[in-house]
Structure 1
């Protein structure tokens, strides 16, 4: 009998050991599964962060504009400007009666916008193209509009930190915020001077512009103002800044027909500030025709 009791005891012990091993295996599998879930969740959060999710950040790269982009702004052929003309431009510079806006004795162009703004993103291109016919930019940036606004991630230039050299004109570019949100607000960037803020508040209202407070706001020497975009930002969707700059020379490109056409209007207004200098720019057929379309 004792032998049989001993065998039963050994059997019960073996069963207990097997059950304990099974329980340890089960717990190990549960632990491994939990680790796997954590890894997947972390990976997903990293992907969302890189893609601009969660914080509602924009996507794409921002940085300095390469030399090819800056060169392309100033290398649009006169024949391209003439072929695209200025028909179809929505709005544009409107003549105003105001004190002259100058810096160092030269007519000043004041741009106030923000990097998150898709309409600013669109309008920087024709403003930069027009100004490049009178001078040279340094330290232009490339960026994009916000990823959580209309026309998300519109590729564009940035005037933050840029400088402009011209014997005809002066330029001030103000980008009031970035395209990134922190605690639900776009991060502050440039602060306009008190005088520039006063210009913005005074002339970015009816009757000078159709609707008040819009950006981008551009004051051209106190003679003309423009508020908002002159074409739809959708024209630039899916392009890189380099692709946009390259397309500017092609009169068959929708980008050239939008950007260069608007630039013709800005150029016509600038020519009135410079007494039609340089003549190689201000006497071209496209600029002459655009001068007759400057709105009152």
Structure 2
């Protein structure tokens, strides 16, 4: 009797041990699954961080700053004459206005002075027609690419930058001043270019009424001391969601809203520059669009 009781007790003990073993195995399995899930999350998050830091993944309109590639620079100077003529200069808001002032020159040539800032969305828009117009009289090298500030109106407007750029022309001299970057340091946009004392005086003198309608605005452009322009001639919204390459490619298409804004504004600047250069070069200054735009140049 006692032997059967002992055997039953041993059997119950073995059952209990088997159950305990199964529980331990189940716990280990659950632990391994949990650890595996954590590892996957760590890998995924780490991968996303790496992608973000290296610039991979989905691109936003905040295209990186850098040097404009050859295709973009070439496109500025390759807008067909027929495109300029088709877009004309209707719909341009403001633009160069004639002033009475001493001639603005550098190295014996009429000088174009641009003062803006990389954070500024209106500067971002206006650099395009200014660069297109100047490319009809000469050529740029070391043009930059950047975008307006992400925390301003029309955020991340894709654009060029005149910081560090050089311009070569037999007709004109050019000074491009970008006073700040598009990045804040201690709550202020970081400084970039400093105007010379003479350029600052030009800005202070002519970037106010009666020379321009809205005093103190940027961008400010002085064209040889004969014309000035302040602010943008079209809405930066037209460039939203595009890249610099997109914009450059659209310049040749007269049906594109970008071409109708940028090239039309460039016609106005070209007409003013032709008066500064004595209507040189002739093939540019006698074109139908430039001739028509000359009759629309405002007066301060």
Query: 2 CA distance for matches of 1:231 and 1:60?
Result: 21
State the TM-score, normalized to the length of structure 2. 0.83
Query: 1 CA distance for matches of 2:39 and 2:78?
Result: 57
Secondary structure in 2 matching 1:271: helix
Q: 1:15 maps to what in 2?
A: none
Q: 1:60 maps to what in 2?
A: 63
Distance 1:42 1:250, change over 3 A: same
Query: 1 CA distance for matches of 2:95 and 2:34?
Result: 65
Q: 2:110 maps to what in 1?
A: 107
Secondary structure in 1 matching 2:228: strand
Q: 1:149 maps to what in 2?
A: 152
Q: 1:75 maps to what in 2?
A: 78
1:199-224, Cα deviation, whole Å (9 max, x unpaired): 11111111111111111100001111
Is the Cα–Cα contact under 8 Å of residues 63 and 243 in structure 2 kept in the other structure? Answer: no
Query: 2 CA distance for matches of 1:113 and 1:165?
Result: 20
Is the Cα–Cα contact under 8 Å of residues 62 and 157 in structure 2 kept in the other structure? Answer: no
Query: 1 CA distance for matches of 2:189 and 2:36?
Result: 41
Distance 1:185 1:34, change over 3 A: farther
Distance 1:59 1:93, change over 3 A: same
1:211-241, Cα deviation, whole Å (9 max, x unpaired): 1111110000111110110000111111111
Secondary structure in 2 matching 1:107: strand
Q: Does 1:213 align with 2:216?
A: yes
Query: 2 CA distance for matches of 1:45 and 1:117?
Result: 29
Query: 1 CA distance for matches of 2:250 and 2:112?
Result: 25
1:165-222, Cα deviation, whole Å (9 max, x unpaired): 1111000000111111222221111111111111111111111111111111000011
Query: 2 CA distance for matches of 1:251 and 1:171?
Result: 28
2:252 to 246, 249, 257: 249
Query: 1 CA distance for matches of 2:37 and 2:81?
Result: 66
Is the Cα–Cα contact under 8 Å of residues 62 and 158 in structure 2 kept in the other structure? Answer: no
Structure whose CA Rg is larger: 2
Q: Does 1:174 align with 2:185?
A: no
Secondary structure in 2 matching 1:128: helix
1:290 to 290, 293, 300: 293
Q: Which runs of 4+ in 1 moved over 2 A?
A: 27-51
1:240 to 237, 240, 243: 243
Q: 2:274 maps to what in 1?
A: 271
1:123 to 126, 136, 140: 126
Give the C-alpha shift of residue 288 in structure 1: 0.6
Q: Which structure 1 residue ranges, 5 or more long, are not aligned?
A: 1-26, 52-57
Query: 2 CA distance for matches of 1:182 and 1:43?
Result: 28
Q: 2:141 maps to what in 1?
A: 138
